[in-house]
Amino acid sequence: MSAAVRVGIAGLGTVGAGVLSLLQQHSGLIATRCGREVVPVAVSARDRARDRGVPLDGYRWFDSATDLAQDSEVDVVIELIGGEGGVAKAVVEAALEAGKPVVTANKALIAHHGTALASLAESHDAVLAFEAAVAGGIPALKTLREGLSGNAIDRLHGILNGTCNYILSTMRESGRDFDEVLAEAQALGYAEADPSFDVDGVDAAHKLAILTSLAFGCEVDFGAVYAEGIRNITASDIAYAEELGYRIKLLGIAERSDGGVEQRVHPCMVSTRSPLAQVEGVFNAVLFHGDFVDSIMIEGRGAGAGPTASAVVADLLDIARGNAVPAFGMPQARLKSLPTLPMAQHEGCYYIRLQVVDRPGVMADVTAILRDEAISLEAMLQRGRAPGEPVAVVLTTHETVEERMQRALERIAALEASLEPPRIIRIEPI
């Protein structure tokens, strides 16, 4: 059996403790599968005294994670500190500059600095692996990098944030509104005390930027991702969606065309017949479309100690076996800088929810605005009449351009009878 791989773990939060637990419990299985032992030898975290539910006896403790990364008795560095920059970035850079393989679950770091870090890894003949950065235990990146490597991928759709999927699923099942379900998600530990990173779409946007690079062979460009969250989704929107044959999901979508790449994260109405419509609770899923394989979907738990640790250790075993592949599926120098298609050019169908005064002529004004913007209506729903009182009106449109829709919404919002800003949800044909 080959010499053991000595592992240093920087960051002992939920995932770090999960990685240690997995490596301890499955040490024999791992050695059998890769022909050598994979042994944790060093750890680093801010608080030595904290009980992490896993024994730390026998591991060397480093107060400085950067010192751990540079230690000569550590062969592979696992970065689980988190954050776009700061200590996490310094640890990864220090390890790569020392020629050491790095495994990370840090989606923000890879979304913002992935291209530069891949270049640094290649220049020092080191490996940079980050399967756990996207969709937890689901092998989304391995699917693109390995299983679908013979396909040209033209689009992908992903439920990439379990917190948002839990909230939307629970709203549909219970009929309750966003704020109440969010509070429940926080109490259950599915949402952070400050949930903005999740519910405003930032987390999903990080993951989408990484997936896009793997799918299309382009540089990671987080700044090109349009991100919109779920705060404005109401229980009535979800009920109307069901009536129209849809379910609402926060999706990350990447599409490539001759004009460039479209990357967007926002709530979508998807047909109840779509496989993504059936993904509920805290689960994640990614639907890929390749030219030879057609469409395939992978689904599973997208977060938590166990699933994320599983993905971290999968990368670690690849390194132990000597299965070194470029971080983004090809040498960094071959990654293209593809033009970005702005959201204003997006074409699709729309759901529009209005809150207006119920009086003659209001809908004539609304439909005149839509006519002026060349937006064709498909259906209209209005429940009951309340002359002179507020009433909700729901419209769905045929395919149009986002820029036209936004102009129409501004004009509708300015109508005297309009009581609140119109809300839209894009209808995604999958």
- For residue 1, pLDDT over 80 is answered with no
Among all residues, which ones are annotated catalytic?
207
Confidence of residue 51 (pLDDT cuts 50, 70, 90): confident
- For residue 48, pLDDT over 90 is answered with no
Instruction: Give the pLDDT score at 294.
Output: 96
Q: 265-316 pLDDT, tens per residue?
A: 999 999 999 999 999 999 999 999 999 999 999 999 988 899 999 999 999 9
What are 298's two structure tokens? Answer: 């992978």
Only one residue has tokens 């983004």, namely 328
Instruction: Give the pLDDT score at 53.
Output: 87
How far is the C-alpha of 232 from the C-alpha of 267, rounded, in Å? 10
Only one residue has tokens 């699933």, namely 307
Contact 75, 103 (CB under 8 A): no
AA letter at 195: P
Instruction: Give the pLDDT score at 168.
Output: 98
Q: Tell whether the torsion through CA atoms of 83, 87, 92 and 93 is positive or negative.
A: positive
Burial class (CB in 10 A: 0-12, 13-18, 19+), 157: buried
Among the listed residues 118, 114, 231, the one whose alpha carbon sits nearest the alpha carbon of residue 168: 231
Q: 184-210 pLDDT, tens per residue?
A: 999 988 889 999 999 999 999 999 999
How far is the C-alpha of 81 from the C-alpha of 13, rounded, in Å? 8
Instruction: Give the pLDDT score at 384.
Output: 67
Backbone dihedral region of 294: left (phi > 0), alpha (psi from -120 to 50 degrees) or beta? left
Domains and CATH numbers, the chain: 2-137+324-331 (3.40.50.720), 140-301 (3.30.360.10), 343-427 (3.30.70.260)
Contact 308, 132 (CB under 8 A): yes
How far is the C-alpha of 219 from the C-alpha of 158, rounded, in Å? 19
Q: pLDDT averaged over the chain?
A: 95
How far is the C-alpha of 140 from the C-alpha of 142, rounded, in Å? 6
Instruction: Give the pLDDT score at 388.
Output: 77
* Residue 361 Cα distances to 1, 14, 125, 396, angstroms: 82, 58, 70, 19
Express as a percent the part of the chain with pLDDT over 70: 99
- For residue 255, pLDDT over 70 is answered with yes
Angle at 409 between CA 406 and CA 413, to 5 degrees: 145
- For residue 348, pLDDT over 80 is answered with yes
Contact 345, 36 (CB under 8 A): no
- For residue 367, pLDDT over 90 is answered with yes
N-term to C-term CA, the chain: 49
Confidence of residue 170 (pLDDT cuts 50, 70, 90): very high
Using only the alpha carbons of the chain, give its radius of gyration. 24
Residue 38's contacts (CB-CB under 8 Å, 6 or more residues apart) are 4, 5, 7, 23, 27, 30, 31, 313, 316, 317, 320
